[in-house]
Structure 1
């Protein structure tokens, strides 16, 4: 499928910027744009039949998500896989997420729990790895404090965004992990509804550790 096209039924009413962003995220997480690929703005604008501006904005957003890196001499490229970075991201998350769980159990508004459930249901329905990864990021954000009022939330939000890159890669390497993650999401949400702090902490850490192990195994098998 040419880079400028999206799968049938997956091009909603988006701005040019939103369309380019969504399609490029999809291409990177699906492996259509391999790690290290150079991203030349003029070429991308031609493929997407848009001006340079939405492409530049999309590359900036993808850099913020950790999917793209800027080299002052070579321009933009798809971020290369770095297992040491993955381990550091997940070690930090496993250390800090329990603090957020303990703060937020009993404080998450019912409407945010309902939103988490809607996101969870959408994850079980979509077949698109990039869409699933983005929904996964939004799902976990439902249980966090407002990052404008919390340094912990700001740090964890950044780590969560960086991890989404590797979540997508792990799902591409081990598709069976998706169903397991969906079940874990349901269990985590149930803990928040019941106010079970110890179990919510245990599940959150287990959820991240399993994802990290999946990534490590995929790397060892040369799948990343």
Structure 2
């Protein structure tokens, strides 16, 4: 009689689930898995090189996020489409532009100094094509503005949009021209905050998010129109 196999490390299993979830979410939001696609659990698990256990958990999370839908006797269907992507970008633009407006009236000198440092690091990362570093800095930039605004309720509402935002950012920032456009827009937001100009901060943030959201829709969904 053989000895029992050792149990999987819970942390390893958790990490695997996160990895599968991130891979599928990125594939959906980037357009690699188009709206209407049916996902076969066994085939998808084999493609990802995992068992169906972490895949099932990932699919449950994706359904909660509104990216897929379970269809009885058929499987899991991708539901994320261009209309949903545009709607989510507009929702984020509405929330973040108001947060930026409030931040312009409340931001401290220390906050400004922190944003300037992040802005300079973003400039360097953009020039170097350091995408991973730029993604992290991008998130830090926005999080600093959120904290400076003091708008906890708006931040809670915004949390529901971050699932889309993070995946779209990874997709978009792979392009150098987009990285340069995004840098210029972030520096415009910073300038408005430095001037403590609520109208300019609101406008700069809204324009940035709406423009990048439309670019994501045009780029990620172009293959579906061909």
Taking structure 2 as the reference length, what is the TM-score of the superposition? 0.63
Count matched residues: 204
Residues 60-99 of structure 1: matches in 2 within 5 Å?
A: 60-66=60-66, 68-73=67-72, 74-83=74-83, 85-99=84-98
Cα deviation digits, residues 187-223 of structure 1 (max 9, x gap): 3245445644332212111112323543576699776
How do 1:113-124 residues align onto structure 2 when only pairs under 5 Å count? Answer: 113=115, 117=119, 120=122, 124=126
Normalised TM-score (structure 1): 0.63
Given that residues 34 and 81 in structure 2 are in contact (C-alpha distance below 8 angstroms), is that contact kept between their aligned partners in structure 1? Answer: no
- Checking the alignment, whether the CA contact within 8 Å between 1:28 and 1:34 is kept in structure 2 is yes
Aligned-pair distance for 1:52? 2.3
Gaps of 5+ in 2: 1-13
Answering whether residue 103 of structure 2 is matched by residue 104 of structure 1, we say yes
Per-residue CA deviation, residues 79-136 of structure 1 (Å, 9 max, x unaligned), is 34242x44443444444333212333344774974895598469733458xx977875
1:139–1:59: structure 2 CA closer, same or farther, 3 Å change rule? farther
Structure 1 residues 34-57: Cα deviation after superposition (integer angstroms, max 9, x where no partner): 332222332222223323232223
Tell me the distance in 2 between the aligned counterparts of 1:61 and 1:143: 28
Structure 1: unaligned runs, 5 residues or longer: 1-13
In the TM superposition, 1:15-30 aligns within 5 A as 15-30=15-30
Measured after TM superposition, the shift of residue 169 of structure 1 is: 7.1
1:144-201, Cα deviation, whole Å (9 max, x unpaired):
259xx833222222234345566677779x9744421232123324544564433221
Structure-1 residue corresponding to 2:152: 150
Structure 1 95/77 Cα, relative in aligned 2: closer, same or farther at 3 Å? Answer: same
